[in-house]
Structure formats: structure tokens, C-alpha cells
Amino acid sequence: MAAQACALVLGPNCYFPGRKRALAPPVSCTYRRTLCIYSKMAYKKFRSSSPKICQNKKKFGHSSFNKNIQNHANESKDVQDASSENPSIPFEAKVSDAEDNQDLPTAADDIKSSVGKNSIENLQAEVPNDLMGLVDYTQKNVILPNQAQINTFDELDQIISDKEVLQAEINSLELKLAETNARLKVAAEEKVHLEVLEREHGGLKHEMYLRNRFDGKMGTSDSITHDVIDLAIVEELSGLREENQSLKDDIRSLNEKLNDVENMRERISMLEKERSFLESSVKELKSELEAAHIDFSELSSVKLECKSLWDKVESLCSMFDTATEQTKQAVAIIEQSLELHTKVEKLETSSEQANVYKLPEMYQQNNEILQQNINLLEERLEIANQKIYSLTQSYPLEEFERAIENLKENDDNSIGAVGKVDDMPWSFWSRLLLMVDGWMLEKKISISDATLLREMAWKKDHQIYWAYLACNGKNDDEVLAAFLKLTQPQKCQGLHVVHIAAEMAPVAKVGGLGDVVSGLSKALQRKGHLVEIVLPKYDCLQDDHISDLKILDVAMESYFDGQLFRNKIWVGIVEGLPVYFIEPHHPSNFFWRGKVYGEHDDFKRFSFFCRAALELLYQAGKKPDIIHCHDWQTAFVAPLYWDIYANKGFNSARICFTCHNFEYQGTTHVSELSSCGLDIVRLNRPDRMQDNFAHDRINPLKGGIVFSNIVTTVSPTYAQEARTAEGGWGLHGTLNIHSKKFVGILNGIDTDSWNPSTDTFLPAQYSADDLHGKEENKDALRLHLGLSSAQAFKPLVGCITRLVPQKGVHLIRHAIYQTLELGGQFVLLGFSPVAHIQREFEGLANHFKDHPDVRLLLKYDDALSHIIYAASDMFIIPSTFEPCGLTQMIAMRYGSVPIVRRTGGLNDSVFDVDDDSIPQQYKNGFSFWSPNELELNNAMERAFNYYSRTPGNWKKLVKKIMTLDFSWETSAAQYEELYVKAVAKARAATSHV
């Protein structure tokens, strides 16, 4: 199949092992590129059409469809072989013969007849009922589409070859036509010349006639000359007439050939249509093949599960049979023992009677014999009791009971045991929530029913869990009916939070914003809150991280530029969180640019998205408690919500706005604001959205601050810096006016992803209790980068960053030389979007390329970043300003001691070892105040001295920083407190009114 696909792209003359060479001329480069592009487009279209696989399977039968395709391919191959055996037959004759032969069906006829014959009932009749038969049936249907696809590709190759032959014929005829035109032109010129000669000949005859008339006679020599001239002229005229007639015949022949060419073009057009039809058939075959693979994989898993269960049942049956046999033996022995007991009692009674009545001596002797028999019976009884005891001890009763209980637990899990409901992953509940929202948006259920079902899924109610599992294998109507039976109202104690953002890790991550959205959402979800995310549907989404991605059958329209535009709504689950993706049907293709940010019309792109996101929440009938938006790209949500949607009755939520960096504000000319429906006259005011530096510009970041109920930033220190003229980037006045609702909350990190004890990127995992793996990672990095390993104790300084002025690039450059002066090694991983900075560091990298202690890697490499964190002894972050910073938290998580400038989040997370004002338990690194080389030198010297002179204390410091808690739990608790206060205040105001 791979060879056939390559032949389709590179041309029919390409040779692959196991494939015969085609006799057609090679395909042109332009056509190859066209096929290559078409193949990529077809592959994308095939992947996007995967939801239709099941429909295609129902529409077409497997066996008959593939059989017709195979027959047609064999017939096509026979025709091709016949043509190749007789190469003297012209192509036109082959085409006409194929057209005259009406008994040979085309591929289109085969497929149409296949569709007509294979109904759903016939397909269902052919499917076996037993599992093994179904597996065999699926395997056969996996092979047949492959063979049909190979034959179809062979026929496509033949069609392309025929087209090339026809094109060569057309080119040859066009050359002949040009030659004929040239010859006609020459003939016309010769005809003019002939007419001139005839006129001269007439003049000469007339002159001779006059001369003879006046002279009365004509000389003999003159007469001969005249006859010779007449003969030559007549011969030349005859030749010209013959040549003219020949040219006319050639023209007539060329006209006939041109008519044949037109017929050929019509034939080519028909072949093109047939090729298109075959390509569509190939796509359907691919869809069926993919569906067959999916079914086969599912059947394989079912088969394995059934085999495992059957093995367990057989084992239990064997144990049960063994226990039954042992029980029977024990019962038989017990019965014998009871009989012996009865006999002994009788004998004892007889003996007592004999003693009482003092029988004669003979009876006494008999009595002794009886007593001996009694003793013998007692001994046998004791042996029987011991055997019963041993059987009881060897009988695996407890093991058998445990096996039965495990089997019951497995059975309970399959039908939805109450005890396992809470252990279900969040992706399960998110799938339920998205399913309910899809029904509501598609108008299949009412808003009130959707709200009730959302609350049940939110609360992890076991009834909706059972209902979902009980619907396995049912159609959509039955599933919907089962869910609508759940009428018990459930009161939810948590909050409903909706994040509207431009980024989310890992599907659309550019910077720290993506990590915040996913990390905070997961932490809030673990606290029992319902969390949903709304994102743009970028064409560059990492959709391999999205499960259950599908498009809803709903046409959601949103306002923009004075008209309504349709939007496609996609839903999926990202790391257990329900996510909505909005794909606008706008002629500008707002989110099909290959990147997230950096477009000339970013203001329009994201204002459109904010209006569409609110419209989605409004039409879905959602009543969130909190709508949380991030940075200027989604700051439009706040004014849109209060100016437009609150007036429509959509006013249940409080708006929380988080700014991750006040440097980026998205300002533009005020006229752009009206596109999303906001009133320019009302909002272009100093106390609303007017930019603080220009009255004709609008500032969406300022609008987010003014119109939100809660305003946060990513660290307490950065919140203080943003309220100053130096750190507020012109918005310090606005922040001071709204200071009561402005707070800084330090971000966290995903401690599951950044965990040295489980990190799969590391050559050796390690923990605070066992640091041997850290040294192994250091040795592995040195070997990988070609750094010197002569002095193993030499400290390694790491730096992972974007090389932009904010990150203190001049101090990073200085730190390289300072590290070498102090006797250490330096590794930098990062790149710069600023051209002159990138060139500068490329020069540095070239300068140090052979140095044994320095490596500058000017790229982004996620796997390598994990190893650098783990291998580094120290980590340098000399930012001029840093809103939060995550690298220092990750570095400490991996036991790398940070050296930072005291600004923003760095000041809130790193506390100097030599600062006596800091309690000992909080000291975790080295810091400096001013962003200059002198203070950086001082901090690095202190760190190197601490490392070399007190190795024991350094090891204790490494262990301490690895145990610090930088997870999202603490940060999420602070956000939760803000949410609860805002919602309580809003509800109190509503009840008061």
C-alpha cells in the first residue's frame, strides 16, 4: 500500500520493489507537486471525517462492495495487459474499442450497483453472532479494502498514463498544425508569384502576336524559345497546383485529427471525472478500513478481557470442583464416624448392662472382646477425625471466598458500584457535562433539564453514573430518555467557574498563561468546583492532547461588524477538564494563521472571540458563578458582559480578570472597538476604556480592570510594582483607583509534570531522600553536550529563558564569563524573538562552541529542559522585572539552587540564605537588588563559596528546597476565597433588592 501511495505522488514510472514498471511517460514535476498537495489535503480531510466512519459502514456493505471493486480492477488490468501485448495498436483505437465494448462495467457502475445491493438488513444478516466469528469477519474486511485500494491505485496509474499519451498526441498535432500553417503561408506567396508569371506570360504572348502581325512572320528560333518558355510555365503551374492540392489534403487530414483531438479531450474529461469518482471511492474505502481497524482493536481488547474472565471462571470452577470432591469425602467420613459413634454407644450400653447384671464368665469374655472392638473403633474414629481436620485445613475456603468476592467486585464495577463512583477520573464527568451541553445546544432537552443533569454530574451522583453505564450499546434516543428520567434535583455546594482564555497548556501554550489556566482549573476542580474552559479553535492546536474531540450539530451565530457570523462549536476533554473550542466562519480566518499571537489584526481576532464566547454561554443557558478572563486578549469579556449580556438577563456571574504582564495592553484606534458591538461614545472616556496616553486610542486591558469585579495579578510583589509609575506601564493610576479589588496571588506549578522522582525525560530519577540520581543526570548532560567531566565536583549553572530585555540578557551574558572566572560550567537553553539579540548570542555560541565548560543552545527543547533542571547545581534568573516566574519554582523542585534578582514573583518565592531578617526555614537561594553586574557578581560569589566550602550545608539546602510546596493548591485556595466573597456579596445584594 505504501508503494502504491508513493507511486501516486511521484508518478507511474517510479519503481518500487514488487511493482512492475509502467510503460507511460513520466509525470511532470508540476503534476507531482499537485498530487503531493492533494494527498496531504486528502489525508487531512480523511482524519477530519472520522466521525462519519460508522455512517459509511452502515451505508455500504463490506464483502459485495470490495468484490465489485476487485472485479473492476481485474477487468481494467486485463484491458491494460491486452494493450501492452499489442503495442502497434494506436491509442485512439484502444479508446474507441473500450468505448464500443458496452459489456465492460465502469468503476462507477460497480460502486453504484454495490450500493444498491448491499442494504443494512443484508449487512446485518452477514455479521456472525458469536465473538470469534465477529473477529474473523472483521479481519477479512480489513484485508479486502486494502486489496481494493491497491487495485484502485493501479487503475489511477493507468488513467494518468493514458492522459500523458493523449497529451503527447495533442502536442504532436499542434506541431503539425504549425508546420501546415507555415506551408500554407509559403504556398500563398508562391501563388502570388504564379499570378505575376502568368501576367508576364500573357504580356509576352501579346507582344509576339503584335510583332508577327507587323512583321508578317515569326523566326524559327523565336518560336522555339516561346514554346520552351510556355512549357516551363505550364509545368511550374502544374507543380504548384499539385502542391496546392496536397496542402488542401493535409489541411483536411489535420482538421480530421483536430476533431479526434476534441474527442480525446472529451474522453480525458470523462476519465478525469471517473478518476475523481475513484478517489472518492478510495476515501470511503479508507474510512471503512479505519473503522475496521477500530472495530478490530476494540474486539481484540474485548477478546482479551473475555479470555481473562473465562480463565478466572475456569479457575474458580476447578477450585469449586476440588472443594466439592473434598467436601464429599469429608461428608462420607463424617457419616462413617457417626455410625461408629452409634455402634460404640450401643456397645457401651451393652457393657454397662452386663456389669449391672453380672453375666456369666462367657458373657464376661464376650464383653472383653467387645471392649477391644470398642477401643479399636475409637482409634479408627480418632484417625477419621484427624483426617477430617486435615481436609478442613487444606480446603481453600478462604481463597475461594476471596476469589468470589473479587469477581463480585469486578461485576459491580462493570454495572456501576456506588463505592467506585468517586474514583472515576474527571475526564468521565467532563464527558457527561459536554454530552448534556450538546443536547441542550441542539435543542434536544430544555435548559432546566440540562441544568439538573449538569448538577448531578458535577456532584458525581451515582444515579447519573449508573444511567450512563446502563446506556452502553443503546441508540441516541434511548440514551436521552434514560437521562431525562433522572428527575431528582441535586443541590450543588461548589461554584461554577468558566475560564475564557487565549491559551491553555498543553493544547495551546505560548507562555506562562497556558500553565496558569490549566493548573488553576485542575486545582479548583479537585476542590469540588465545576470548571469549564472556552478557547479559540486554532489551526495549530496540539489536538493529540484532546480526547473525545467532536463538533456539535449547532449553528451558533455571533455579532461582529454589523452582521451575524456563524461559528462552529467543538468540544473535547483536556487533562480531565471540559473545553469548548470556537471556530469562526469569518472571511478573515481569524484563527487559521498557524500561530496564536502576533498578527496585525489581533484586536479584531480576540474581540470577535470574546463576543462569541459570551454568546455561547448565553445560548447554552449556563448560569456560571464566576467568569474568569486573562490578559488583554480576553479583557473585552468584562465590558461586553455588563453592557450587553447583563441586559438580556445573563447576569448571574461575577467577572474575575487576571493580568499576567502589564507591558502588553493591546491598545488600538478607538474606531476598532465598535466591531464587537461596544458603544465607543460611552466607553471612550478616561474613567472607562480610553488609553491614559492618547484620547483617540482604546485600551482593552484598562477596560478589564475597570469593568471586572475582581482584578488579580500573578504575585504580591508584582501587584505592588504595578501600582508605581515604573512598573505599571501607564496603568498605575487606574490600578490605584481600583486598588480595593486588586490583589496579587503567586502562581503555582504542576507538581505532577515537574517531579524528579517520576520524570521520564531524566536518565535517572531521584528525590530529596536519595540524591544519587542528580549526579547521574549531571554526568549524562555533560556527556551529551560534550562538557568536561575532569572535575566532577565543579558546579554547573543552568539558565532556561526567552532572550528578551525583560529577562536581563546583559546580565545573562555577564554570568557566563563570571561562571568561568569562579571555576564553574554554564549551560543556556533559549532563543530570542529579537533579531539583534539572537545574532549576539549566536556569536557567543560560536565563540564557545569548543569550550569545555560552556554550551549555549539557542532553541526550545522541552525534553532537554527537564535534564538541565535536574543536572544544574545553581539556576540563574537575573530578570529586570518578572511578574511571577515559574523557572525558579521548577529549579527548586529539581534541587537546583536559584540565583535571582529581587523583583516580582522572584522576590515572593526566593529568600536569601545570608539574609538574617529571614527565618531559617524560609531561606532557599541567593538574591540581589539592582540589575547590574556588580551585584550579580556578589550573589554568584556567595553561592559558589557556599557550594565549595560547606558541602554538607549545601546538600541540606538542596533537600530543603526540593520539599517546598509550590503546587497550585495554595494559590487555588486564595482564588477560591475571592470567588466566594464576590458571589456572596452579589447574592446578598440581590436578596436585599
Which pLDDT tens digit goes with each residue over 795-804?
999 999 999 9
In single-letter form, the type of residue at position 421 comes to V
pLDDT (average), residues 327-354: 64
Q: Contact 453/483 with Cβ under 8 angstroms?
A: yes
pLDDT at residue 762 greater than cutoff 60: yes
pLDDT band at 315, cuts 50/70/90? low
C-alpha 749: how far from chain center = 23
C-alpha 404: how far from chain center = 42
pLDDT at residue 715 greater than cutoff 90: yes
Residue 600's pLDDT is 93
Of 39, 296, 282, 47, the residue nearest 145 (C-alpha): 282
Q: Bin 408: left if φ > 0, else alpha if -120 < ψ < 50, else beta.
A: alpha
Q: Contact 943/926 with Cβ under 8 angstroms?
A: yes
Lowest mean pLDDT among 441-445, 711-715, 847-851, 911-915: 441-445
Q: Contact 581/574 with Cβ under 8 angstroms?
A: no
CATH of domain 496-744: 3.40.50.2000
Torsion sign, CA atoms 168, 170, 172, 178: negative
Rounded to whole angstroms, how far apart are CA atoms 571 and 186? 74
HSE (side-chain half, CA atoms, 13 Å) at 790: 6
Q: 702 burial class (0-12, 13-18, 19+ CB within 10 angstroms)?
A: buried
The CA dihedral of 422, 425, 427, 428, to the nearest 10 degrees, is -50
Rounded to whole angstroms, how far apart are CA atoms 372 and 366? 10
Residue 987's pLDDT is 81
Q: Contact 542/535 with Cβ under 8 angstroms?
A: no
Of 809, 865, 867, 816, the residue nearest 839 (C-alpha): 809
Kind plus residue range of the DSSP H or E element containing 519: helix 512-526
Our CA angle for 942, 946, 951, nearest 5°, is 165
pTM score: 0.56
Which pLDDT tens digit goes with each residue over 509-545?
988 899 999 999 999 999 999 999 999 999 999 999 9
Q: Contact 800/830 with Cβ under 8 angstroms?
A: yes
Residue 359's pLDDT is 42
The size of the chain, in residues, is: 993
The residues near 351 (Cβ < 8 Å, ≥ 6 apart) are 367, 370, 371, 374
Task: Say which residue, 940 or 384, is predicted with more confidence.
Answer: 940
Rounded to whole angstroms, how far apart are CA atoms 531 and 439? 19
The residues near 84 (Cβ < 8 Å, ≥ 6 apart) are 23
pLDDT at residue 769 greater than cutoff 70: yes
Residue 96's pLDDT is 38
Residue 412's pLDDT is 45
- C-alpha to C-alpha distances, 556 to 266, 448, 639, nearest whole angstrom: 45, 20, 21
Our CA angle for 257, 263, 266, nearest 5°, is 145
pLDDT band at 378, cuts 50/70/90? low
pLDDT at residue 331 greater than cutoff 60: yes
CB atoms within 10 A of CB 536: 25
The residues near 601 (Cβ < 8 Å, ≥ 6 apart) are 588, 590
Residue 45's pLDDT is 44
pLDDT at residue 61 greater than cutoff 60: no
Residue 52's pLDDT is 40
Task: Say which residue, 677 or 15, is predicted with more confidence.
Answer: 677
Look up the CATH superfamily of 771-966: Glycogen Phosphorylase B; (3.40.50.2000)
Written as nine digits, the cell of 413 is 464495577
Of 430, 502, 486, the residue nearest 453 (C-alpha): 486
Rounded to whole angstroms, how far apart are CA atoms 399 and 422? 29
Which pLDDT tens digit goes with each residue over 279-299?
777 777 766 666 665 655 555
Q: Contact 881/721 with Cβ under 8 angstroms?
A: yes
CB atoms within 10 A of CB 275: 17
Task: Say which residue, 595 or 103, is predicted with more confidence.
Answer: 595
Lowest mean pLDDT among 160-169, 665-674, 733-742, 750-759: 160-169
Q: Contact 518/553 with Cβ under 8 angstroms?
A: no
User: Omega before 883 cis (within 30°)?
Assistant: no
pLDDT (average), residues 751-758: 93
Residue 512's pLDDT is 85
pLDDT band at 314, cuts 50/70/90? low
Helix (H, G, I), strand (E, B) or coil at 783: helix
Residue 244's pLDDT is 76
Our CA angle for 498, 500, 505, nearest 5°, is 100
pLDDT band at 393, cuts 50/70/90? low
pLDDT (average), residues 381-386: 66
Which pLDDT tens digit goes with each residue over 19-49?
433 433 444 444 444 444 444 444 444 444 4
Rounded to whole angstroms, how far apart are CA atoms 902 and 928? 6
Residue 21's φ and ψ, nearest 5 degrees, are -70, 135
Residue 839's pLDDT is 95
Written as nine digits, the cell of 371 is 471392649
Lowest mean pLDDT among 96-105, 171-180, 373-382, 695-704: 96-105
Q: Contact 435/344 with Cβ under 8 angstroms?
A: no
pLDDT averaged over every residue in the chain: 78
Task: Say which residue, 673 or 60, is predicted with more confidence.
Answer: 673
Using the structure block, give the residue that is written with the C-alpha cell 496571588: 745
In single-letter form, the type of residue at position 167 comes to Q
Written as nine digits, the cell of 703 is 477596560
Task: Say which residue, 756 or 76, is predicted with more confidence.
Answer: 756
Residue 684's pLDDT is 95
Residue 84's pLDDT is 41
Q: Contact 623/496 with Cβ under 8 angstroms?
A: yes
Which pLDDT tens digit goes with each residue over 203-262?
776 666 666 655 554 444 455 555 555 676 677 777 777 777 777 777 777 777 777 777
User: Omega before 506 cis (within 30°)?
Assistant: yes
pLDDT (average), residues 700-721: 96
Task: Say which residue, 378 or 480, is predicted with more confidence.
Answer: 480
Q: Contact 237/194 with Cβ under 8 angstroms?
A: yes
Q: Contact 539/584 with Cβ under 8 angstroms?
A: no
C-alpha 456: how far from chain center = 29
- Per DSSP, 644 falls in state I
Task: Say which residue, 373 or 814, is predicted with more confidence.
Answer: 814
Q: Bin 277: left if φ > 0, else alpha if -120 < ψ < 50, else beta.
A: alpha
Task: Say which residue, 574 or 15, is predicted with more confidence.
Answer: 574
Q: Contact 536/582 with Cβ under 8 angstroms?
A: yes
